[in-house]
């Protein structure tokens, strides 16, 4: 019975050989495209994070703003004075600054 099944599979492969090879080729191309898209997205993500870094690695900057104007940053008060004083008490933290309600609506050069 196994011999008959193997013969049937072999005959089917010989008859549909071109279709089988095209299927294998399509799967290979799909894997190649998916891996290249993942590699590109990972490299763009790494480049984006690298460009967003501040020159000093010990500084953390959190800014919320609207995307209409790149100069228009609207900071939200995320922390109270009590929160900032608690952070100042941490052993390895040297400077803490709380930014509240600062925004740039427009810049005019020269008058």
| Residue of higher predicted confidence among 75 and 97 | 97
* All residues at 6 or more sequence positions from 63 whose CB lies less than 8 Å from its CB, including other chains: 73, 75
Given a cut of 60, is residue 27 above it in pLDDT?
yes
Domain residues of the chain, as ranges? Answer: 1-53, 54-111
pLDDT band at 35 (very low <50, low <70, confident <90, very high): very high
Residue recorded with tokens 């919320």: 64
Task: Confirm whether pTM is higher than 0.75.
Answer: no
* C-alpha distances out from residue 52 to 8, 43, 57, 72, 80, Å: 61, 14, 11, 17, 26
pLDDT at 56: 57
């Amino acid at each position: 019975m196994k011999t008959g099944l193997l013969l049937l599979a072999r005959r089917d492969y010989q008859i549909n050989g071109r279709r089988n090879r095209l299927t294998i080729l399509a799967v290979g191309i799909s894997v190649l495209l998916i891996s290249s898209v993942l590699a590109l997205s990972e490299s763009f993500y790494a480049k984006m994070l690298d460009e967003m870094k501040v020159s000093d690695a010990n500084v953390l900057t959190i800014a919320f703003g609207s995307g209409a104007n790149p100069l228009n940053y609207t900071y939200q008060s995320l922390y109270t004075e009590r929160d900032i004083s608690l952070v100042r008490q941490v052993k390895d933290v040297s400077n803490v600054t709380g930014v509240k309600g600062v925004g740039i609506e427009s810049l005019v050069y020269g008058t």
